[in-house]
Amino acid sequence: MLIDRFGRKIEYLRISITDRCNFHCIYCARRGPLRWIPHEEILRYEEILTIVKTAVDLGVRKVRITGGEPLLRKGVVDFIAKLAKIEGITDLSLTTNGYLLVDLADKLKLAGLHRINVSLDTLDSEKFEKITGGFELERIWAGILKAQEVGFYPIKINVVVIRGVNDEEILSLAELTFEYPWEIRFIEFMPVGNSELWDESHVMPISEIRMKLEKRAPLKPISSHGGGPAKVYQWEGALGRIGLISPLSEHFCGSCNRFRITADGKLRTCLFSDVEIDLKPYLRERPEKLSDAFIKALTLKPEKRDISVTSREMRAIGG
């Protein structure tokens, strides 16, 4: 069992399988030239499976696959199928921008994936193209509906709220829960990866988002699907739920239960910290000692986040 020095039980592993993404979203766009991780530095699927098996042996029960855009990586469906066969994983999920869901949702379901999160920051087609760098909202929407059709539940929709960009859509996005059994999750804009858009004035605190929602109708607290940092609510008569995630204004460090694996094989104990353990030497030189890296990480996990220190792009860390 992985328990850190502050008594937190680590049972959740988030893994970025690629830093590549077809979108170029304004809150991920980095100042300066775009730099991809060289292909030879990206973890092989076999190495990721070894990491997951070791983590599960140590008590990890939840695994989320992220990117970049994970569905861009060749062989991802077969990889998911192998992950799904690892005994001990109780929750296997994936975060995607949704572009390839129309093509892959049924295959991912058959492979054994449990849940899907889709990033969707606006319902306005023109604004969506501006946010993503030229992509069509209609294809993403069709992908979400396809995921629902093949039986994914709950489908969680991640909305990064940026003041002056999409904050006026909070209510219309949340009202989707009256028509669909989805969880619409509002997330505070975070200063990760030296984003060219980042400015504290663009952050809308969760408390302000909640006030906007409660002007529509009272929010009833309910339990969440799969745990995690979201505080989950529901409007009376709604099919779906509303999640509020506050990494900045109301941080949840005291209950953090996760480690992250970057696309190039670094074990990170905190999203907002650049302290990392390189797993490649363990994987390629002494795999029998891989569990030692996780034990060491327990001593490095900070008590709480420091948002001033991280420079890694979210696409490499795992969104």
Q: In this predicted structure, what is the pLDDT of residue 194? A: 56
What's the confidence (pLDDT) of residue 242? Answer: 98
- Asked whether residue 5 is assigned to any structural domain, the reply reads no
Residue 167: per-residue pLDDT: 96
Q: Which of 275, 276, 293 is nearest to 284 (CA)?
A: 293
pLDDT at residue 193, rounded to an integer: 56
CA separation for the pair 3, 242 (Å, rounded): 30
- For 235, the token pair is 């409007």
Cα distance between residue 162 and residue 171, in whole Å: 14
Residue 1 lies in a domain: no
Query: Is 257 a member of any domain?
Result: yes
Residue whose entry in the numeric block shows the structure tokens 């949840």:
252
The reply to whether 309 falls in a domain is yes
| Greatest C-alpha distance within the chain | 58
What total of structural domains would you count in the chain?
A: 1
In order along its 319 residues, the chain shows pLDDT tens digits of 899 999 999 999 999 999 999 998 877 766 566 678 999 999 999 999 999 999 999 999 999 999 999 999 999 999 999 999 999 999 999 999 999 999 999 999 999 999 999 999 999 999 999 999 999 999 999 999 999 999 999 999 999 999 999 999 999 999 999 999 999 999 998 776 556 666 788 899 999 999 999 999 999 999 887 667 889 999 999 999 999 998 776 677 888 999 999 999 999 999 888 899 999 999 999 999 999 999 999 999 999 877 665 667 777 787 6
Residue 312 lies in a domain: yes
Does the residue 4 lie in any domain? no
**Among residues 97, 47, 6, 28, which one has the least CA distance to residue 300?**
6
Domain that holds residue 54: 12-317
pLDDT of residue 59: 97
What's the CATH number where 17 sits? Answer: 3.20.20.70
In the sheet with 220-222, reading across from the earlier edge strand, the strands are: 220-222, 231-234, 241-245, 183-188, 155-161, 115-119, 91-96, 62-66, 12-16, 258-261, 266-268, 276-278
Report if residue 7 sits inside a domain.
no
Identify whether 269 is part of a domain: yes
